[in-house]
Amino acid sequence: MIQLVECVPNISEGRDLKVIDALTKVVQDVEGVAILDRHIDSDHHRSVFTIAGFPDVTIRAAYELVRLAQELIDLSQHDGGHPRVGAVDVIPFIPLHGMTMEECKRLAEKLGAMIGPLLEIPVFLYGEASVQRPKLQLEAIRAGGQGGLSKRLASEGGWHPAFGPTQLHPTSGAIAIGARDFLIAYNVVLESNDLILAQRIAKTIRTSDGGLPSLKAMGVALTSREQVQVSMNLTNYRETSMYDAYRAVEQVAKRYGVGIDESELVGLVPQAAISSEHIETLKFRAWKPDQVLEARLAQVGFA
């Protein structure tokens, strides 16, 4: 059986298209790998690549991406609305055809064992790839940004990377590599520039504060548009769908007399997670059928 894995690197660069194009090319130059989607956000100062390929070559493409990002991105000069600790901030592996979560965990470990010593970047394994109990989660790594992580490495005995040095790289920071199921990154833009309101809505609806299950959320300022956004991760779309998340944001926003301008999908979504009857309701900025994962896999010959 042919094995395919999905890999979704989050890169701390959303403004310099030359850098983003160079990172795109280094992935495209690896045979057996395809970029399914590339989402660029100048306000978040972040780009998200959705990659699919055969396991061994996907690891090689991910390594080359991190290696080139180390040359091109200086995180000490970075500012943006999204939390981050690395030039390439996070790389999750997601099982597709013929892959198990256990095999994705081994891919994460293999990539980490390359990046840590060869590029001298501390590597943290998170999610299903974490060997810690309880499992290390991405938000714990990012807490307090680079400064917070650096302090934990220096002062807390339980904090140490799985691979690489025990201090942050001066320009590349650290990197989180993991294995997980499908995650839907979904944003709702408000008809408002009130960041406190967006943060209040995020706090109301997210799991950690008693809201919807399997939902992470934060308020983000979209400086270029003079608006704010509720930025969400749906970690289990079977428990909380994009429709559920949209309605939750809408309900809280209405209490403050604020409407929804539009919503946005970051990356791709499994066919099972999107209903055609909800596409118009969700006010997508620009919905395209090839935002469905299975459709893109077919387009690049991986179906």
Out of 179, 207, 234, a domain closes at 179
Tally the residues of the chain: 303
In angstroms, the Cα distances linking 171 to 41, 86, 167 are: 21, 8, 12
**Three-state DSSP class for residue 120:** coil
Phi, psi values for residue 229, rounded to 5°: -140, 145
Q: What is the structure's pLDDT at 221?
A: 95
| Alpha carbon 157 to its chain's center | 28
Sign of CA dihedral 42, 51, 292, 130: negative
43 lies in the same domain as 98? yes
Q: What is the CATH number of the domain that holds 87?
A: 3.30.990.10
**Do β-strands 175-179 and 123-127 pair in parallel, antiparallel, or remain unpaired?**
parallel
Residues 75 and 201: their CA atoms lie apart, in Å, by 30
Q: Are residues 193 and 212 in the same domain?
A: yes
Q: Are 189 and 165 in the same domain?
A: no
Strand runs labelled E in 154-256? 175-179, 184-190, 215-222, 227-234
Domain boundary pick from 179, 205, 220: 179
Contact 14, 42 (CB under 8 A): yes
At residue 133, the pLDDT reads: 86
Q: Residue 214's domain is classified under what CATH number?
A: 3.30.70.670
pTM assigned to the model? 0.95
Range of the domain at 204: 184-299
**Per-residue pLDDT tens listing for the chain (303 residues):** 799 999 999 999 999 999 999 999 999 999 999 999 999 999 999 999 999 999 999 999 999 999 999 999 999 888 877 889 999 999 999 999 999 999 999 999 999 999 999 999 999 999 999 998 899 999 999 999 999 999 999 987 779 999 999 999 999 999 999 999 999 999 999 999 999 999 999 999 999 999 999 999 999 999 999 999 999 999 999 999 999 999 999 999 999 999 999 999 999 999 999 988 889 899 998 898 899 999 999 999 997
pLDDT value for 227: 97
Asked if residue 115 and residue 25 are part of one domain, the reply reads yes
Report CA 75 to chain centroid distance, whole Å. 17
> How far lies 219's CA from each of 78, 203, 284, in Å?
19, 9, 18
Q: Is 110 exposed, middle or buried (0-12, 13-18, 19+ CB in 10 A)?
A: middle
Q: Determine whether 285 is exposed, middle or buried from the number of CB atoms within 10 Å of its CB (0-12, 13-18, 19+).
A: exposed
Q: Can you tell me the distance from the alpha carbon of 106 to that of 290, in angstroms, rounded to the nearest whole number?
A: 30
**Residues contacting residue 52 through CB under 8 Å, at least 6 positions apart:** 4, 5, 6, 7, 33, 34, 36, 58, 96, 297, 300, 302
Residue type, 70: Q
* pLDDT given for residue 62 in this prediction: 98
Q: Which residues are catalytic?
A: 82
Within this chain, do residues 258 and 192 fall inside the same structural domain, yes or no?
yes
Q: What pLDDT does 166 receive?
A: 94
The pLDDT of residue 49: 98
Task: Give the pLDDT score at 158.
Answer: 75
Residue type, 150: S
Instruction: Specify whether 164 is located in the same domain as 192.
Output: no
Please give the pLDDT value at position 93.
98
Q: Strands of the chain (E only): list them.
A: 5-7, 10-11, 33-41, 46-53, 88-95, 123-127, 175-179, 184-190, 215-222, 227-234, 260-266
Residues 147 and 17 in one domain: yes
pLDDT for the residue 299: 96
Contact call for residues 173 and 146 (beta carbons, < 8 A): yes
Q: Which of the listed residues 138, 155, 179 is the one where a domain comes to its end?
A: 179
pLDDT value of position 175: 98
